[in-house]
Amino acid sequence: MSALGTSVRGVVVAVDGPSGSGKSSVCRQVAARLGLAYLDTGAMYRAATWWCLDQGLDLGDQLAVTAAVRAMDLRMGMDPAAPHVRVGETDVSAAIREPAISGAVSLLSTNLDVRAELNARQRALIDAERTDGSSGGTGVVAEGRDITTVVAPDADVRVLLTASEEARLARRALEVHGTADAAAVAATRAHVVGRDAKDSTVVEFQTAADGVLLLDSSALSFEETVSALLALVLDVAPGLATR
C-alpha cells in the first residue's frame, strides 16, 4: 500500500541462465540497487535437498522425496542485503552451499513433482511482492532456470543471462579455488557443465524463449553486467529509483 492507501503494483523481474552465468550475484545487486526483494529459487531446490538428506531419505525414491518436499516448512528471507533460507527453525543458508548438496540437487530438480511443488511456492512468493511488497520493497527480482518461462512468464522484465562456457568455468574456478588455471577449471567442470546437462533434461535455460531478452555477460565485468541488467529493468519501470 502507498502512503495514500492505494495499492502499488510491484515490478517483477525474472532472470534465468546456466550455472555460473552470474544470476545470483548480479540479481542480488540489482535488487539491492532498486530496493526490490530478491528470490534465489536455486536455494529452494538446495534447501529441499538438504531437508530430504536430513530426513535420511534415498533421493532416488521419488514418492518419498515428493512427500517430504510438500511437507517442508521452508522460509525464504528475500532481503538482498541479507538473503537467508530456513527450514523450520534451522538456518540452512550455509549448509545448502556444501558440495554434498551441489552434487545431489539435480536428483530433486529433475523430479517433476518436486518442481510442481516448488513452482507453486515460488509463484506465491513472487505474487506477494507483486501485489503488496510484503518484504518492504516495490517488487522482486527472481532468478533460476524456469522463472521467465514457467514460474513467471508474465513478469514485467524477462532476461536470459548467459556467458560462454569458458567464462562461466573461469568465474566459478576463481570463486572456489582462488585461481582459474587449467587444473582449477578442470576441477570445476563437472559442477558447472555436468549439473547444467542434468537440469537441461527438464527445463530450457540455454536459449531465450519468445519475448525474453538476452544478456550475454561473457565479455562484461561484474559491474558492467549489473549496469546492463539495471538498464533493462529501468527501461520497463522508469519510476524505480536506483540507490
Ligand X SMILES: Nc1ncnc2c1ncn2[C@@H]1O[C@H](COP(=O)(O)OP(=O)(O)OP(=O)(O)O)[C@@H](O)[C@H]1O
Q: Would you count residue 220 as binding ligand X (CB under 6 A)?
A: yes
Nearest of 204, 202, 206 to residue 62 by alpha carbon: 202
- Considering only residues 32 through 51, tell me which ones interact with ligand X, judged by CB under 6 A: 42
Nearest of 203, 184, 8, 187 to residue 102 by alpha carbon: 187
| Nearer Cβ to ligand X (126/133) | 126
Largest CA distance in the chain: 59
Closest separation in Å from C-beta 196 to ligand X: 9
User: Is residue 198 a known part of a binding site?
Assistant: no
| Nearer Cβ to ligand LCLUPRNS (93/227) | 93
| Nearer Cβ to ligand LCLUPRNS (10/144) | 144
Closest separation in Å from C-beta 42 to ligand X: 5
Q: Would you count residue 230 as binding ligand LCLUPRNS (CB under 6 A)?
A: no
Q: Would you count residue 227 as binding ligand X (CB under 6 A)?
A: no
User: Is residue 17 a known part of a binding site?
Assistant: yes
Q: Would you count residue 207 as binding ligand X (CB under 6 A)?
A: no
Q: CB-based contacts of 18: which residues, under 8 Å, 6+ apart?
A: 162, 163, 168, 192, 196, 205, 206
Find where cell 520497463 sits.
236
d(CA 202, CA 61): 18
Q: Name the residue whose CB lies closest to ligand X.
A: 22
For helices 112-132 and 99-109, what crossing angle results, to 10°?
100
214 forms beta bridges with 160
Q: Would you count residue 117 as binding ligand LCLUPRNS (CB under 6 A)?
A: no
Cα separations in angstroms, 79 against 5, 17, 76, 93: 24, 22, 9, 13
Among 25, 62, 90, 227, binds ligand X (CB under 6 A): 25
Q: Would you count residue 199 as binding ligand LCLUPRNS (CB under 6 A)?
A: yes
Report the interface residues with ligand LCLUPRNS, using CB under 6 A. 19, 41-43, 45-46, 105-106, 109, 144-147, 195, 199, 203
